[in-house]
Amino acid sequence: MEIKFMKTRHLKYIFARYYKKPSIYEPPEFDKREFAFVYFENPDSMQRHMGFSSLEELMIHIEQKIPRHVYYSSAIYEYPSAVNMNEKEWLGAELVFDIDVDHIDTPCKKLHDRWICLDCGANGWGLAPQACYKCGSERIRKETWVCETCISVAKDESLKLIDFLISDFGFRKNELLIVFSGHRGFHIHIYNEKILELNQEARREIADYVRGIGINYKMFIPVKGSLIKPYNPDFWDPAWLGRVSRALYNLFTSINLEENLKKIGIADRTIKKISSLKQEIIKKLEEKPPNWNYLSKVIDENTWEIIFHKVAEEEGAKIDERVTIDIKRLIRLPGSLHGKTGMKVSKIDYHGLENFDIRKHAVVFADNLVKVDIKNPPQKILDVLLEAKKGVVKVPYYIYVYLLANGAEVRMIKSTS
């Protein structure tokens, strides 16, 4: 317990150095936002329902208190510091999207994420199961880290989402606030008068749209007896019509067509049939517009349903829909530090997202090498490879801060030149 206290105090001292000259984001209608904090002294509790009249007042509070986590409301309120939510008088809310690789099964997780069942002790590397494979318990403790591959996947999903927002919904790039969360993903905010007043159901429809929920093969493939009239789309059509058309073409022209169909659960007999007709299918897809009537005859409805489900899943943006639907969400404040990584919650522009570099955009602590004694480290953290065994290793100082913040059994020995 004493060692844990000393580590916490040391981490707070490190954060204090950053907060002497922070660059904190000032959201629109600042004085109508609720702010919330998690402090080092009480890490399991959030102090919320706080309002500030100015950015300067907030920065004084941060410098004096040195919080571990800082949040602000996506909503604007008449009385943001009211403790009773009904008394705050909700005036509207930004539309917020959260993309986090915690919810995406990336192959790199086997290098740096692990889990353990708190009931039977079963454990493993990679994405944690919903329930223990050995005893069925859902009491699973996870240890997660982030690497460059994680961030690359999150970046690609964010760019995919932004394509929906700009191409399908008509938002402009300058209406988007793009934020690296400081951990394993990105937040995309939209703030304008029309968005502010949207209710939860409207936001749910937007969330479903960008995720591809409700994409039906009968919208594309003529089905005998169906009440749905197909759109007969082409590759250059807007929105989901063009996306699905292009995705299907990419699927059928892929070198590994048979393997890809098997992965999504298509029967072997059907795979052989599709493979034998591959060139003809491609030729019909390349007609202007694609010959969907032919495609409906050579591939059965059940197979199309499976294929379309997979296409919608792949083409849709992998957002956490709960964040988008929530009209009173607390979200990390850009410019603050993430308490589990020591990295900056960073506001970036579209170009910055395309060329996102975690060292450039989010690492705020030094990169000089320090010698640390660490037990059971993951194989990779950010851009640094580690030995998956306990012992003394040299790491950049910012990696030491990350190890410390995320609860690793780590002790710094000394700096090295």
Q: When comparing pLDDT for 230 and 8, which is higher? A: 8
Residue 170 pLDDT > 90, yes or no? Answer: yes
End-to-end CA distance of the chain, in Å?
33
Please report how the helices 278-285 and 268-276 are oriented relative to each other, as an axis angle in degrees rounded to 10: 60
Residue 267 pLDDT > 60, yes or no? Answer: yes
Residue 332 pLDDT > 90, yes or no? Answer: yes
Instruction: Give CA separation, 62 vs 16, 39, 56, 59, 66, in Å.
Output: 9, 10, 10, 5, 5
Residue 2 pLDDT level (bands cut at 50, 70, 90): low
Q: How many CA atoms lie within 13 A of 260 on its CB side?
A: 16
Across the range 163-187, mean pLDDT stands at: 96
Q: Residue 367 CB: number of other CB atoms within 10 A?
A: 11
d(C-alpha 379, C-alpha 110), whole Å: 9
Helix (H, G, I), strand (E, B) or coil at 141: strand
Residue 415 pLDDT level (bands cut at 50, 70, 90): low
Across the range 326-353, mean pLDDT stands at: 97
Across the range 125-150, mean pLDDT stands at: 92
Helix (H, G, I), strand (E, B) or coil at 298: helix
Residue 5's pLDDT is 74
Residue 229's pLDDT is 81
Phi, psi of 4 (to 5 degrees): -60, -40
Residue 281's pLDDT is 95
Percentage of the chain modeled with pLDDT above 70: 97
Q: What is the mean pLDDT of the chain?
A: 93
Residue 245's pLDDT is 94
Residue 12's pLDDT is 97
Q: Which two tokens stand for residue 4?
A: 């844990």
Residue 3's pLDDT is 67
Residue 387 pLDDT level (bands cut at 50, 70, 90): low
d(C-alpha 26, C-alpha 58), whole Å: 10
Residue 326's pLDDT is 98
Cα Rg for the chain, rounded, in angstroms? 25
Residue 106 pLDDT > 80, yes or no? Answer: yes
Residue 417's pLDDT is 47
Q: E-strand spans in 61-206?
A: 67-73, 75-77, 90-93, 95-100, 114-117, 123-125, 140-143, 176-180, 185-190
H or E element at residue 322: helix 321-325
Across the range 114-128, mean pLDDT stands at: 92
Q: Which of 21, 366, 326 is nearest to 202 (CA)?
A: 326
d(C-alpha 66, C-alpha 12), whole Å: 7
Q: Which of 27, 402, 55, 356 is nearest to 189 (CA)?
A: 27
Residue 127 pLDDT level (bands cut at 50, 70, 90): confident
